[in-house]
Structure 1
């Protein structure tokens, strides 16, 4: 079933190639959207068949062709929701640019279908070398999308910043993987995680992986590429950047640093926590000063991902599960923010400058209502998955370090400041003299944003749907779990825990 998830977007891409752009634009859109929807349905079936009590990777398939690189794929509770997020977001990316791509629609759609395959591959491969290959391969279609279909003349600079920053950081990851293969003789996840490496060796390898993942997170001072890439990217690319590209680092922290290099992770945790707090406060204050609303949402994403990092490096089950939940929540709410301000407003008024907007509630009451809900969720109010994830992440880091927990909790106030400022500025007051008369949000735009809000709301009310699948996989990160007769029984699972 995992191989089907990887192949369906490729088949859709091949189906687009023979269609002429002069006569078949609508048909191309329909094929691409249908392909991505079929892939989402397959992922839902996979979710239904997933066994949340299993200690092993599931749906494992092996394609052994090279001696040093085995194409083994499988998922556990951690990778499951990143795969679901990928298949959920891709149809929305295609729908978001349904009418406003004026040239090269065929190659635009092919790029997104290829990115879907590559992103799913990152989350399901069970080999370090393949992880690196797919981790970097996603950059190529995104580089082309931002550079070709971006919003202004500075799009080329933004695309090169995106490409060069992430590529330069990932070179250290490649060096670390080569060292691991030279010393262990394998890059298989399980083999590497079971090998005995000294603390000094772990420290060197950890720094190589961390430099690469810190750029992707991004953390200060490696964050410059993200606001510029978001500001210049077409809406679909902004949605994909916010929803999934930032989650590659989250997954890398979980799958590589915490699992394979636990001693070095514990040693460097104070450094990471300090960097995350600096990133959180700096990005939140920078968000308050933005005049471009896409850049504002991009900087707010940096702050939210800093909270995710605090949860991941809290060394607690509560913190790590909260960080994964917040990653999923950010993966739907931040794209919804981009769809509203970077899609609905920009498509009509063709400016991203905040000071030109005021009084949208006069002519766009439905838009303002949806914008209010999205803004509230972005602030992590109760009943949203953002609130569940943020509360658990901060609770986890507070157990580890109360000082870092208090500093991290400053995000509650700071996110409210910039979120309420943006909503109030755009929505209320006299209608801006710089704006022409406009109609309310269209049906397509409404159907684009509504599913993302529903996901955040439903899982915010019922978060145990996610935590049930996560618990065993996250517990294995921190403890040695022995199989028991019935792991669906929480008491039995707790009794099975033992220190590594």
Structure 2
């Protein structure tokens, strides 16, 4: 029996979460170092998964399959394709930086109530590791029911991170801040639970359909897709569309896609910067990943049927998110609305149904994770120094903290997809792939590029340039721990922007499999009749 590498990659952070939570109250520094070491170990295992994955091999690799709830056809089935392995690597990469950036985020709670029974530091880092374990398992699961369990379970630790460890940079006072954190956490939970309940109904419906047509109910993604391909599973058109909508609704809430996005600005705004990175750079990717793996894989006919409407919603998300970002006065809410715009590009690429669009969408998931992490974490360092999230409270930062301003600028330029930085390739592929099949939609989506330049450059101008405000004059520059967070992320943005080939080689074969699921090929270029006659 081979070593269960995929299980180990998820189990290590889960065990680390339990061990971190069990550290004695007086040893909070031990809890921090333990969590950091576990996250680095998880990254090491993810690197092994990446190294052992063969892009030219079978679709799902490093597979594990064990009977779990045999009476209901539920199996513990894991496997990774190129898309999943890229997102596992992203998750394992970002969590150590999240832990380093949040090194002191629970200290204020420890100091304000030193005699409290619960241990904020241990709880904070344990919750982060538990989310990492659940996200990794979501990217690995090839059993629909197994995926659903972790898709929903990750909401609980995130709820406590938002509500219990939220941002303290409030002008209204701690009492009002606590109410806002609680409201944001409850809204996040209700929205995502509602999506999950709709998906659960669709999961049950899928089981009933497979039991009726295959003789035995199953949740196995591979078994269902193979039955589709062989003609053994023919779901009625109306049933397939209803099941697709149940899955898609849950994923669109998580993604988040307009108009199901309204939980995100509050959740990100009221979270600490590291938790906000977990939300938008890690957890939300599960929604777009699931669209590729489950919506397109399980319901190819319904996916094609819903594509025009989804493309319209994606374009609305792109433009709406960018316009709302321009109007924001709060730094983190601005980044939240920018992320809504970026997720619109990702969903646009997925449902463009072209190899360029879906490759671009997958690259966008990875590159958006890195760029948003860089911008948000540096913004968090900036906010913690000033004690305010309001853009108007800053000015002239680049004169007193040039390293902080410089890393903030690179993160912002990556967010607007500047050529030479990683997100540019992703956005370019999405637009090319969309334009080749839906030219009008592709042209409308480019409006988001112009608006992104506006909100990013205006944000930098208002916070970093101009006269130095009195409250900024003594602001310290980035410290060593903060440089260890920002430096590698900036290097990755530049490296993947200049040379994205290692990532595209992993992703492209998986995209071809996804397109084959929906029976799509890239549109052939049109050649004018006179050019053919002229022999051109």
Q: Which category describes the TM-score, using the shorter chain as reference length? A: over 0.9
Find 2:54's aligned residue among 39, 51, 55.
51
Correspondence 1:86 to 2:124? no
TM-score by length of 2: 0.87
SS at 1:70 equivalent: strand
Q: CA deviation at 1:209?
A: 1.2
- Note if 1:429 corresponds to 2:466: yes
2:415 aligned with 1:411, yes or no?
no
2:146 to 123, 127, 130: 130
Q: CA deviation at 1:345?
A: 1.2
1:497 aligns to what? none
Alignment of 1:96-135 (within 5 A): 96-102=101-107, 103=110, 104-135=120-151
| 1:254 maps to 2:292 | yes
Q: Is 1:4 equivalent to 2:1 in the alignment?
A: no
2:446 counterpart SS class? helix
1:38 aligns with 2:76: no
User: Structure 2 vs 1, CA of residues 379 and 159 (structure 1 numbering), >3 Å: closer, same or farther?
Assistant: same
Q: Whole-Å Cα distance in 2 between the matches of residues 27 and 108 of structure 1?
A: 13
Q: How do 1:131-210 and structure 2 match up within 5 A?
A: 131-151=147-167, 152-153=177-178, 154-184=180-210, 185-193=217-225, 194=228, 195-210=233-248
Give distance in 1, aligned partners of 2:477 and 2:182.
33
- Residue of structure 2 in register with 1:485 after alignment: none
Q: Would you say the 8 A contact 1:54–1:472 is kept in 2?
A: no
- Inter-partner Cα distance in structure 1 for 2:309 and 2:513: 24
Match of 2:75 in 1: 70
Structure 1 residue 20: deviation in Å?
1.3
Q: How far apart, CA to CA, are the structure 1 residues paired with 2:129 and 2:517?
A: 39
| Cα deviation, residue 180, structure 1 | 0.6
Does the aligned pair in 2 maintain the 1:150–1:232 contact within 8 Å?
yes
Q: Of residues 361, 371, 380 in structure 2, which corresponds to 1:323?
A: 361
Number of residue pairs matched by the alignment? 479
Question: Is 1:368 aligned with 2:405?
Answer: yes
| Cα-to-partner distance string for 1:245-286 (whole Å, 9 max, x where unaligned) | 220111111011111111111111110011111111111111
Q: How does 1:409-488 map to 2 (within 5 A)?
A: 409-479=446-516
Question: 2:274 — aligned with what?
Answer: 236
After TM superposition, the structure 1 stretch with the greater mean CA deviation from structure 2, 12-21 or 281-290, is 12-21
Q: Distance in 1 between matches of 2:21 and 2:125?
A: 10
- Aligned position for 2:334: 296
Shift of 1:18: 3.7
Determine whether 1:19 maps to 2:35. Answer: no
| Counterpart-to-counterpart distance in 2, 1:7 and 1:427 | 43
User: Structure 1 runs of 4+ off > 6 angstroms?
Assistant: none
What's the offset of the Cα at 1:235?
A: 2.1
Work out whether 1:213 is the aligned partner of 2:240: no
Partner in structure 1 of residue 263 of structure 2: 225
2:104 aligns to what SS in structure 1? Answer: coil
Structure 1 position 197, deviation (Å): 1.9
Instruction: Output one character per residue of 1:304-361: Cα deviation in whole Å (capped at 9) or x when no partner.
Output: 11011111001100100001001111101111111111x2111111100111111111
Equivalent residues of 1:239, 1:338 under 8 A apart:
yes
User: In the alignment, is the contact (CA less than 8 A) between 1:143 and 1:159 conserved in 2?
Assistant: yes
Secondary structure (helix, strand or coil) at the match of 1:36 reads: helix
In structure 2, the gaps of 5 or more residues are 111-119, 168-176, 211-216, 519-536
* Cα distance in 1, alignment partners of residues 22 and 394 from structure 2: 44
Paired residue secondary structure (1:65):
strand
Are the counterparts in 1 of residues 59 and 513 from structure 2 also a CA contact under 8 Å? no
Q: CA deviation at 1:80?
A: 0.4
Deviation at 1:480, TM superposition (A): 7.0
Q: Secondary structure at the match of 2:284?
A: helix
Q: Which moved more, 1:462-471 or 1:301-310?
A: 462-471
| Bigger Rg, which one | 2
Q: In the aligned structure 1, how far is the partner of 2:22 from the partner of 2:139?
A: 31
Report the Cα distance in structure 2 between the residues aligned to 1:180 and 1:17, rounded to whole angstroms.
38
1:55/1:473 contact within 8 Å kept? no
Is 1:283–1:300's contact at 8 Å kept on the other side of the alignment? Answer: yes
Q: Which string of whole-angstrom CA distances, capped at 9 and with x for unpartnered residues, describes residues 154-211 of structure 1?
A: 1000100110001111211111110010110111101222332232222111111111
Residues 398 and 404 in structure 1, CA contact (< 8 A), matched pair in contact too:
yes
Q: How far off is 1:15 after superposition?
A: 2.5
Distance (whole Å) between structure 2 residues aligned to residue 135 and residue 18 of structure 1: 26
TM-score between both structures, scaled by the size of structure 1: 0.94
